[in-house]
Amino acid sequence: MIKVNENYLKLKSSYLFSEIAKRVASFQSQNPGRKVIKLGIGDVTLPLPKVCIEALHKAVDEMAVKDTFKGYGPEQGYAFLREAVAQNDYCSRGADVSPDEIFVSDGAKCDTANIQELFAKDIRVAIPDPVYPVYLDTNVMAGRTGHVSDGRYENIVYLECTAENAFVPDIPEERVDLIYLCFPNNPTGATITKDRLAQWVEYARESKALILYDAAYEVFIRDDALPRTIFEIEGAREVAVEFRSFSKTAGFTGTRCAFTVIPKDCCTYTSSGEKIGLHGLWNRRQTTKFNGVSYPVQRAAEAVYTAEGKEQVKSLIDYYLNNARHIRRKMIDLGYECTGGDNSPYIWVNARRDSWEFFDLLLEKAGVVCTPGAGFGRCGQGYVRISAFNDLESVEEATERIGQALSA
């Protein structure tokens, strides 16, 4: 008899964004002539930078010529991309990261989900609340949690992020082994200072813990005082793994390219206390389970780091940040407290009512889709996330509609 992994049965019946899609589809079927403006899921809407398209075309043409054709590539990623990443994203900012510590992948979502495979089942996991659902759900799938009790899984340490702590989690009083952090944060848009991040690094070093640092939205940081990478913090190489993505940086959500940085100094431990390098374990995992990102896509990603690419990416990000500022200003003018929207494409809005109730109100009265904060955890109840990923005309129309719906 083939038996199911019963840990999957502990999961909520519907993934957050699947539930949103279901409600939107129902609304559209009942209102076929109504234009729906989507400011919910964090998918980009502008096309790839021109320089990336040109690199993509050139690489595809190379695949049509015997002398330049590429078959299977290195699972870790081509050297040309890893070297560009190391130099531009790390060395240029004084962070000590070498090309062979970078692993190219098809998405930060996959990497943040898969890396937990390397750790023991009985470790103590600390996860922010509210949180990107992938961190929690993959640990549920792996069997590290108990059942849900009062909206939370047993055996997980929840790091509450509220208005009182500016949506930046406090160091836990109890000892934990694995810590998930995401800044700029999804869903709250909050950012973390270097001093606060240094406290987390020190805690991890003292506890022999590991920080999984999701920096997928770092390109939106405009405040030079804020850290762009955890490896700007002294000692982080020993206790941190960082995840990055080209999805939001250059619009690669449908093209798929990301990378994970695992320093060779970073260690895990056996039950007897023996140090085991995490870099080698992840490399072993990737060479077994992953065949790499296609050559044309990696060439397109490399183009991001050219002079033209940097200029075009900045233009993209400036566009979305302008949208974010517009949304934030409108919601504040309507009397709603907001976080994010300055160094982040997300605006976290205190809805002053049930999250799903507010979601339904905006959908039905304004034809605008947001994301209910309750879907990100208990601390998200009463909030919604509004995304700046759309064209300015749609954002302006959406905020006008929201204003009318909330003023009615």
pLDDT digits (tens, 9 = 90+) for 373-387: 999 999 999 999 999
Any domain includes 66: yes
- Give me the domain span that covers residue 356: 6-47+308-407
| Beta pairing, strands 102-105 & 156-160 | unpaired
Radius of gyration of the chain (CA): 21
Same domain? For 274 and 351 the reply is no
In three-state secondary structure terms, 151 is: coil
From 306, 336, 354, the end of a domain falls on: 306
Q: What's the length of the chain?
A: 408
Any domain includes 348: yes
Any domain includes 1: no
Same domain? For 203 and 237 the reply is yes
Amino acid identity, position 132:
Y
Same domain? For 187 and 321 the reply is no
Average pLDDT in the chain? 96
pLDDT in tens, 123-159: 999 999 999 999 999 999 999 999 998 889 999 999 9
Q: E strands along 336-382, which residues? A: 338-340, 346-350, 368-369, 371-372
Same domain? For 249 and 106 the reply is yes
From 284, 306, 328, the end of a domain falls on: 306
pTM for the model: 0.97
Judged against a pLDDT cut of 80, whether residue 290 lies above it is answered with yes
Rounded-to-integer distance, Cα 50 and Cα 248, Å: 16
More confident residue, 148 or 202: 202
Judged against a pLDDT cut of 90, whether residue 18 lies above it is answered with no
Judged against a pLDDT cut of 80, whether residue 213 lies above it is answered with yes
Q: E strands along 255-335, which residues? A: 258-261, 267-269, 275-277
Q: Which two tokens stand for residue 267?
A: 């260690």
Judged against a pLDDT cut of 80, whether residue 13 lies above it is answered with no
Q: Which two tokens stand for residue 168?
A: 């930046």
